[in-house]
Amino acid sequence: MYTAPVARSVLALLALLALGCGARGGDITARPSDAPRPVSRAAPAPPSAADEAQPERLTGELAPILSVPAWDAVLAAGHVVVLEPDFATLSGHDATTGEARWRTRMLEKTEGRHTLRARGNEVVFWAGRRMIIVDAATGARRSDEEVFWNGECSFVEQGAACAFACRCHLQLAACDTGKLFGPRFDKTYIEEWGPGDEPPHAGCYGMGTNLIAGTGRVTVAVVEDPRAPSLGRLGHPLVALGLDPHTGKEIWRHADPPHESIVDEAPVTPDGKLVWLGDSEGALRVLDTATGKQRWSRPGLSNLGRVPRHFVALLADPPGLFVYLEDQAVLHAPATGAALWRAQVPPGAFAIPAGQRIPYYSVETQGDGPLELLLLDPRTGKEAGRTQVPASSTVQDDPAGGFYILNEELTAFDAQGQRRAGPVPASPPNLHAERDFVTLFSHEELVILDRRDLSRVATARGSLAAMPGSSLEGRILLYRWPEEKSRPGEAILLRRKR
Closest CA to 38 of 105, 104, 121: 104
Instruction: Name the strand (E) or helix (H) holding 15.
Output: helix 13-18
Supply the pLDDT for residue 264.
59
Supply the pLDDT for residue 31.
24
How many whole angstroms separate alpha carbon 479 and alpha carbon 324?
39
Supply the pLDDT for residue 171.
95
Closest CA to 22 of 131, 115, 144: 115
Peptide bond into 359 cis (omega under 30): no
Question: What torsion do the CA atoms of 487, 488, 489, 492 make, to the nearest 10 degrees?
Answer: -140
Average pLDDT score, the chain: 83
Q: Say which range, 99-103, 272-276, 428-432, 450-454, has the weakest mean pLDDT.
A: 428-432
Q: What are phi and psi of 165, to 5 degrees?
A: -95, 105
Supply the pLDDT for residue 260.
61
Contact criterion met (CB below 8 Å) for 121 and 77: yes
Supply the pLDDT for residue 16.
35
How many whole angstroms separate alpha carbon 223 and alpha carbon 240?
7
- pTM (2 d.p.): 0.81
Contact criterion met (CB below 8 Å) for 406 and 440: no
Supply the pLDDT for residue 484.
75
Q: What are phi and psi of 240, to 5 degrees?
A: -90, 130
> What are 100-153's pLDDT values in tens digits?
999 999 999 888 899 999 999 999 999 999 999 999 999 999 999 999 999 889
Where does the pLDDT of residue 44 fall: very low under 50, low under 70, confident under 90, or very high at 90 and above?
Answer: very low
State the total domains in the chain. 1
Where does the pLDDT of residue 45 fall: very low under 50, low under 70, confident under 90, or very high at 90 and above?
Answer: very low
Domain containing residue 51 = 2-496
Cβ-based burial of 205 (10 A; exposed 0-12, middle 13-18, buried ≥19) = middle
> What are 177-236's pLDDT values in tens digits?
999 999 999 988 777 666 666 666 677 765 667 899 999 999 999 998 888 777 766 678
Percentage of the chain modeled with pLDDT above 70: 84
Supply the pLDDT for residue 207.
61
Contact criterion met (CB below 8 Å) for 299 and 317: no
pLDDT at 58 over 90: no
Supply the pLDDT for residue 220.
95
Supply the pLDDT for residue 261.
52
Q: Say which range, 1-5, 161-165, 226-230, 435-439, has the weakest mean pLDDT.
A: 1-5
Cα dihedral sign, 348-354-359-360: positive
Supply the pLDDT for residue 314.
92
Supply the pLDDT for residue 226.
83
Q: Which residue has the higher pLDDT, 191 or 42?
A: 191
Mean pLDDT computed over 367-379: 89
Bridge partners, 404 (sequence order): 396, 412
Supply the pLDDT for residue 217.
95
> What are 257-312's pLDDT values in tens digits?
876 654 556 789 999 999 999 888 889 999 999 999 999 999 988 877 788 889 99
Supply the pLDDT for residue 49.
38
Cα dihedral sign, 29-34-35-40: negative
Supply the pLDDT for residue 454.
96
> What are 21-30's pLDDT values in tens digits?
333 333 322 2
Check residue 16 and report its DSSP letter: H
Distance of CA 310 to CAs 231, 320, 328, 329, Å?
Answer: 29, 16, 9, 9
Contact criterion met (CB below 8 Å) for 91 and 98: no
Mean pLDDT computed over 410-424: 94
Supply the pLDDT for residue 19.
30
pLDDT at 11 over 60: no
Supply the pLDDT for residue 202.
73
